[in-house]
């Protein structure tokens, strides 16, 4: 038999048809040729290529039907199931028609209002003097800011303030501090743990109108902007100038950069660009008493004293209100590829990751995984089509690099090894924006699909990667028919599991089987009970599963130092003190 390397059919590729393995081989050859210079690989061809492991695994060549292949265009065409904008825009709003009213947090949860003052008519007049036209008391407008986007918690604030400058924030906080009025800082209100809405009647301090870009340095890529800039708009701004934001997440269309920093958002680029503790260069923060702390430097290195900005990254608005951010944007990669692959087991998901780290090296920019139940949810509830054959697990591998030909060659070698060794049984590759987004949507819209499945119990855990999926399997056995679905997905490259369980309606007995079981399981692995979502209101009681008493005590001391009256985002992050 002739070597497939020589007989691989390029016309077959152009049709997007043919047997998978042969296409894979010719795809590889194309990529090899591409290594001689950028942009040699026709993007259409690359996209159309699909492959299977049948040849590599010793079976005979398998012909795919047209129907099988046609699933791809149905998924990816602009008019297809995904639509032109596959990503969800999270924005809270008034109660949608037919949606049940969200129960007040103070009624659903055992929480007691702390002795803050109540907002008086004099207070409103004072706010109006500080922010002429920026004081909102209309209950309908307030409704959107009182309820979280997941529609699980609800405050009863009577006033929403919309400052435009840090000086206005300072004057508001100085006033609130003197009057002992509690304040709930709010960005895009896209949080997962009820941290961004009031619990009682806290004043909502919104960064919505603080959306000005202050400066951008076109050589270094340093962006300085107000806290209320929407992440997606910042992304667009810097991408037009040859850079990218070092973070990206599903909520990008709504979330504010100030909120991202306040919650130490992780997201989809963490694997490549690391934590905000490393990429944020400077912050301007208004402290509880109205002091403006100007650490808004744009320097990559600054060892003059303690790095105060770090205190506020991830403090969820409980230590100060972030009003401006200086952040290091990396250069925009000239080539981005996404491979969406099917794996026969979780061991193969892990081995594929090791192989990716080895062969993709510095261009590996994301490694996400999802299980078969996730795929069922997005196909069933959102009518997305899977681009690959049904598999127990799926992984999304993204590469970002400066040279298309080199990247394609690395990716090709990685895919060939994954395929020939049986780690991967089916897959597809995308290089253009529309299709990249469509593949990403399969992963990013899982959360949306879950919310359509019923009541969702959400856990966001850091675990040793080799034990990460054991918890999902364990829970599936433990819960049995009590749960509709037990699913696992997330940022495998960062050891971050999103574990979600659904049931028809809220069930106290199911919850009792989940908690503290999930937290205790995580603690035994020295994992984190909140990898990237933070603690907010809902998880503040579980901090001690991941932190020792000495750490908790120091956190409480820091809170007392920076906010002695406790007016900033009360009932959040730290557990109730005994």
Q: What residues numbered 360-389 form the site for a second copy, per CB under 8 A? A: 360-363
Identify which of 75, 50, 78, 80 has the alpha carbon closest to the alpha carbon of residue 64.
Answer: 50
C-beta closer to a second copy: residue 438 or 555: 555
C-beta closer to a second copy: residue 159 or 415: 415
C-beta closer to a second copy: residue 33 or 213: 33
C-beta closer to a second copy: residue 410 or 437: 410
* Cβ atoms within 10 Å of 464's Cβ, excluding its own: 11
DSSP letters for 121-188: HHHHHHHHHHSTT-EE--HHHHHHHHB-TTS--B---S-EE--SSHHHHHHHHHHHHHHT--EEEESS
User: Is 313 among the residues that bind a second copy (CB under 8 A)?
Assistant: yes
C-beta closer to a second copy: residue 66 or 300: 300
C-beta closer to a second copy: residue 75 or 531: 531
Can you tell me which of 95, 511, 557, 564 binds a second copy, judged by CB under 8 A?
557
User: Is 401 among the residues that bind a second copy (CB under 8 A)?
Assistant: yes
Contact (Cβ atoms closer than 8 angstroms) between residue 464 and residue 350: no
Query: Which ranges constitute the DSSP H helices of 313-455?
Result: 346-360, 372-382, 404-420, 433-444, 446-451
Q: State the minimum distance, in angstroms, from the CB of residue 246 to a second copy.
A: 10
The radius of gyration of the chain's CA atoms, rounded to the nearest angstrom, is: 25
User: Is 220 among the residues that bind a second copy (CB under 8 A)?
Assistant: yes
* Cβ atoms within 10 Å of 7's Cβ, excluding its own: 11
Q: What is the DSSP letter of 368?
A: E
Contact (Cβ atoms closer than 8 angstroms) between residue 108 and residue 148: no
Q: State the minimum distance, in angstroms, from the CB of residue 217 to a second copy.
A: 8
C-beta closer to a second copy: residue 76 or 360: 360
Q: Which two three-digit tokens encode residue 155?
A: 């405050």
Q: State the minimum distance, in angstroms, from the CB of residue 332 to a second copy.
A: 10
C-beta closer to a second copy: residue 293 or 501: 293
Rounded-to-integer distance, Cα 394 and Cα 338, Å: 13
User: Is 215 among the residues that bind a second copy (CB under 8 A)?
Assistant: no
* Cβ atoms within 10 Å of 437's Cβ, excluding its own: 18
Can you tell me which of 546, 565, 570, 571 binds a second copy, judged by CB under 8 A?
546
Q: State the minimum distance, in angstroms, from the CB of residue 320 to a second copy.
A: 10
Residues in binding contact with a second copy, number by CB under 8 A: 90
C-beta closer to a second copy: residue 158 or 272: 272
Which positions from 242 through 301 interact with a second copy, judged by CB under 8 A?
Answer: 263-264, 266, 270, 274-275, 277-279, 287, 291-295, 297-301
Q: Which two three-digit tokens encode residue 566?
A: 């406790």
Phi, psi angle pair for 519, to nearest 5°: -70, -40
Phi, psi angle pair for 517, to nearest 5°: -50, -50
**Residue written as token pair 């130092």:** 561
C-beta closer to a second copy: residue 291 or 434: 291
C-beta closer to a second copy: residue 298 or 482: 298
Can you tell me which of 55, 176, 359, 430 binds a second copy, judged by CB under 8 A?
359
- Rounded to 5°, the CA angle 308-247-396 comes to 140
Q: State the minimum distance, in angstroms, from the CB of residue 218 to a second copy.
A: 10
User: Is 167 among the residues that bind a second copy (CB under 8 A)?
Assistant: no
3-state secondary structure of 349: helix
Scanning 9-17, 55-63, 401-409, 419-427 for contacts with a second copy by CB under 8 A, the matching segment is 401-409
Q: Which string of x and - marks every residue 446-475 that binds a second copy (by CB under 8 A)?
A: ----------------x--xx---------
Q: State the minimum distance, in angstroms, from the CB of residue 493 to a second copy.
A: 9
Q: Which string of x and - marks every residue 33-72 that binds a second copy (by CB under 8 A)?
A: --xx------------------------------------
Measured CA distances, 535 to 100, 192, 263, 377, 524 (Å): 25, 9, 9, 27, 19
* Cβ atoms within 10 Å of 383's Cβ, excluding its own: 11
Scanning 9-17, 207-215, 372-380, 523-531 for contacts with a second copy by CB under 8 A, the matching segment is 523-531
Rounded-to-integer distance, Cα 566 and Cα 18, Å: 66
Q: Which two three-digit tokens encode residue 459?
A: 């856990």
């Amino acid at each position: 038999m002739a070597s497939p390397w020589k007989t691989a059919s390029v016309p077959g590729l152009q049709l997007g048809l043919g047997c998978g393995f042969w296409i894979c081989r010719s795809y590889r050859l194309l990529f090899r040729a591409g290594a001689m210079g950028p942009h040699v690989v026709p993007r259409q061809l690359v996209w159309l290529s699909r492959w299977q492991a049948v040849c590599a695994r010793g079976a005979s060549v398998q012909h795919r039907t047209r129907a099988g292949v046609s699933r791809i265009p149905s998924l990816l065409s602009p008019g297809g199931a995904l639509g032109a904008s596959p990503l969800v825009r999270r924005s809270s709003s008034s109660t949608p028609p037919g949606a049940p009213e969200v129960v007040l947090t103070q009624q659903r949860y055992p929480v007691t209002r702390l002795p803050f003052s109540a907002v008086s008519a004099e207070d409103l007049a004072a706010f109006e003097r500080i922010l002429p036209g920026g004081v909102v008391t209309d209950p309908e407008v307030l409704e959107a800011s009182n309820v979280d986007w997941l529609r699980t918690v609800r405050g009863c604030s009577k006033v929403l303030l919309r400052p435009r400058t840090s000086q206005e924030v300072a004057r508001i906080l100085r006033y609130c501090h003197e009057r002992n009025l509690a304040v709930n800082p709010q960005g895009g209100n896209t949080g997962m743990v009820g941290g961004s809405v009031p619990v009682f009647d806290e004043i909502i301090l919104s960064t919505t109108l603080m959306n000005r870009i202050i400066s951008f340095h076109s050589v270094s890529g340093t962006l300085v902007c107000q806290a209320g800039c929407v992440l997606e708009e910042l992304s667009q701004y810097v991408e037009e100038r040859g850079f990218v934001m070092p973070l990206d997440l599903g909520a990008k269309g709504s979330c504010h950069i100030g909120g991202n920093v306040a919650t130490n958002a992780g997201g989809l680029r963490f694997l490549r660009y690391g934590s905000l503790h490393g990429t944020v260069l400077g912050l301007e923060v208004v402290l509880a008493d109205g002091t403006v702390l100007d650490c808004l430097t744009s320097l990559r290195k600054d060892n003059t004293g303690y790095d105060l900005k770090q205190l506020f990254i991830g403090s969820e608005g409980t230590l100060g209100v972030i009003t401006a951010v200086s952040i290091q944007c990396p250069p925009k990669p000239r080539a981005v590829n996404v491979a969406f692959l099917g794996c026969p087991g979780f061991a193969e998901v892990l081995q594929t990751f090791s192989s990716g780290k080895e062969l993709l090296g510095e261009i590996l920019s994301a490694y996400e995984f999802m299980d078969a139940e996730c795929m069922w949810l997005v196909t069933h509830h959102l009518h997305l089509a899977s681009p690959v054959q049904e598999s127990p697990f799926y992984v999304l591998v993204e590469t970002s690099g400066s040279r298309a030909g080199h990247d394609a060659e690395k990716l090709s070698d990685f895919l060939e090894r994954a395929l020939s060794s049986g780690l991967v049984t089916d897959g597809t590759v995308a290089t253009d924006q529309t299709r990249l987004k469509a593949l990403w949507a399969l992963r990013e819209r899982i959360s949306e699909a879950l919310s359509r499945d019923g009541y969702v119990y959400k856990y966001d855990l850091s675990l040793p990667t080799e034990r990460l999926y054991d918890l999902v399997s364990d829970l599936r056995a433990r819960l049995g028919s009590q749960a509709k679905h037990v699913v696992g997905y997330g940022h495998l490259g960062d050891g971050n599991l999103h574990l979600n369980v659904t049931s028809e309606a809220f069930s106290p007995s199911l919850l009792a089987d989940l908690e503290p079981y999930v937290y205790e399981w995580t603690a035994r692995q020295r994992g984190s009970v909140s990898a990237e979502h933070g603690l907010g209101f809902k998880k503040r009681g579980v901090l001690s599963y991941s932190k020792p008493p000495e750490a908790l005590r120091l956190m409480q001391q820091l809170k007392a130092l920076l906010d002695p009256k406790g007016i900033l985002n009360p009932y959040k992050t730290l557990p109730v003190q005994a």
